[in-house]
Amino acid sequence: MSEDNKNINKRGSEPAAFEEEPLIKITRREIALEIADERNARRLRKRLLPRALLVGVIAGLIATVFRYSLHWLGEWRTQWIEESSQAGNWTVLMPVMLASMGAGLSVWLVRTWSPAAAGSGIPQLKGVLLHLRRMNWLSLILVKFVGGLLAMGSGLALGREGPMVQMGGATGKMVGRLLGMTKAERFILIAAGAGAGLSAAFNAPLAGLIFVLEEISRAFTPVVFFAGLLATVAADTVSRSLLGQEPVLQTQLADIPSLAVFPVFLLVGVAAGVLGVAFNRSLAGSLKIFDRTKHWPVWLMALMVGTCVGVIGWFFPQLLGSGHHVTMQALAGQLAVGSLAFFFVLRFFMTMVSYGCGAPGGIFAPVLVLGALLGMGVGELAQEYYPVAIENSGVFAVVAMAAFFTSVVRAPLTAIILILEMTNSYSLMLPLLGACLTAYMVAEGMNDRPIYEVLMERDLKQQRERVKEAEQELAEVT
């Protein structure tokens, strides 16, 4: 063999730069198992998706009726306070009595019939999905629905999304039980129902899905994804068909903000991060204070809460309930600069008192109200001291709502998608990303825990204490 031929053979024996890796030896059993897994996954999806659609429709109907009832009660409450204010100063007792009755009756329902219905219900729902607590879907839906209307309709500073999420999860449990689904399948429907509740609360199907994947369900699988997507879209369709398709927060925003304003949005994130940590720690402290009143008569605790909320509501009716009106004013830039900090403090205090007493209601809406007030305040300061600031301070209010939510809940993707869907302000994607990630890092840097993690731990500890008390009572009887 010539020298040239030897060189050619030598070069041919060397592996090429992009030569494929050697094939892996696969047994027939491994192939059969993989094909069987795919077949079982398709069968599970085919079995679950129609049920998820049913969960979304039912959860959407319940949420729509709940949402409409709250709107009607809010309109009636505002008109009633305005009319009664003309009768004299003594009528300040009227909103106090209304808030006291709402707080007392709602807390009595919770303590008597369904302790799991206290607060937002989202931490309790997470405990169910982590196999750490059980759920009685019938009593939960009834108490959450009636108690939520009593609490928020009377003016307590709570949000509708918490009850809707928990009632949606209970709807998933109901459908799974009635249709004979397995335990694993019921948990998927519970998660899908939770997303459907949030979707119907804010006309935000993508936010409902992301919330399930980011916060509610820790197991991301294609089945959970498709079941959640189908349920949230179904619930949103029901809600829009009955209540209209307008965004929950209608805003008039400018085009894409200039990059020169981006540092201001980062400042919004810093402020939201610090105040979000203050919110979380204050809420935990408020719950500890109200824990000491558990042995009080319900009427005494309700009178205390009603007095705090009712007196403020007498002078500032727009701060009562979900605070939707004051949020819209902040987004439109219609609030006086001097009133922003004052309203922020009042609403902050009202939220601590309303949630701490244990009435059914969420914190999404209160957090968004505080975020809107914070954003407008930063926007007004920026216009004064930063030459290139945006004229419409409502832009900063929108961004701050998402940033404050991120700091409190530590779910930035849910916050961004939720605000985009609620305000239809997709031009603010970059400012939202910058502010939310900044708020997230600030809150994490301050070693603060997400609020739902704190609330779930508290709920599980209380459940353990109730079990111990029941065991001691049983031992004393025997």
Nearest-CA neighbor of 139 among 113, 164, 120, 118? 113
* pLDDT: which is higher, 148 or 393: 148
Q: What is the mean pLDDT of the chain?
A: 87
Can you give the pLDDT at residue 60?
96
Whether 478 shows a pLDDT value over 80: the answer reads: no
Q: Which domain holds residue 152?
A: 45-73+92-243
Same domain, 337 and 424: yes
Query: 270-289 pLDDT, tens per residue?
Result: 999 999 999 999 999 999 99
Q: Which of 231-240, 295-304, 429-438, 461-470 has the lowest mean pLDDT?
A: 461-470
Domain CATH code at residue 441: 1.10.3080.10
Q: How confident is the model at residue 12 (pLDDT cuts 50, 70, 90)?
A: very low
Query: 431-457 pLDDT, tens per residue?
Result: 999 999 999 999 999 999 999 999 999
Whether 350 shows a pLDDT value over 60: the answer reads: yes
Q: How confident is the model at residue 331 (pLDDT cuts 50, 70, 90)?
A: confident
Same domain, 273 and 346: yes
DSSP character at residue 135? -
Same domain, 169 and 268: no
CB atoms within 10 A of CB 198: 33
**Cα–Cα dist 215/304, whole Å:** 34
Between CA 327 and CA 124, with CA 347 as vertex, the angle to 5 degrees is 95
The CA-atom distances, in angstroms, between 308 and each of 320, 323, 327 are 11, 16, 21
Rg (CA), the chain: 26
Tell me the one-letter amino acid at 463: Q
What is the total count of domains within the chain? 2
Same domain, 377 and 235: no
What SS3 state is found at 251?
A: coil
What DSSP letter does each residue of 385-438 carry, written as one string?
H-TT--S-THHHHHHHHHHHHHHHH--HHHHHHHHHHHHT-GGGHHHHHHHHHH
Nearest-CA neighbor of 209 among 221, 184, 191, 223? 191
Same domain, 223 and 314: no
Whether 8 shows a pLDDT value over 60: the answer reads: no
Same domain, 344 and 453: yes
Same domain, 169 and 270: no
Nearest-CA neighbor of 392 among 267, 273, 268, 255? 255
**Cα–Cα dist 442/119, whole Å:** 27
Nearest-CA neighbor of 403 among 274, 283, 280, 282? 274
**Cα–Cα dist 476/281, whole Å:** 39
**Cα–Cα dist 181/167, whole Å:** 19
**In a domain? residue 423:** yes
**In a domain? residue 64:** yes
In sequence order, the 6+-apart residues with CB closer than 8 A to the CB of 5 are: none
Q: Please give the backbone phi and psi of residue 323, each rounded to the nearest 5 degrees, phi first.
A: 80, 20
**In a domain? residue 32:** no
Same domain, 359 and 212: no
Q: Which of 209, 243, 277 is the last residue of a domain?
A: 243
Same domain, 391 and 328: yes
Query: 157-175 pLDDT, tens per residue?
Result: 999 988 999 999 999 999 9
DSSP character at residue 90? G
CB atoms within 10 A of CB 449: 16
Can you give the pLDDT at residue 11?
47
Q: Which of 210, 243, 276 is the last residue of a domain?
A: 243
Same domain, 297 and 182: no
**In a domain? residue 469:** no
Same domain, 222 and 154: yes
Best mean pLDDT range from 131-145, 215-229, 319-333? 131-145
Whether 423 shows a pLDDT value over 80: the answer reads: yes
Q: Which of 243, 274, 298 is the last residue of a domain?
A: 243
Same domain, 192 and 301: no
What SS3 state is found at 453?
A: helix
Q: Which two tokens stand for residue 323?
A: 């605070």
Nearest-CA neighbor of 100 among 90, 92, 88, 112? 92
**Cα–Cα dist 448/273, whole Å:** 10
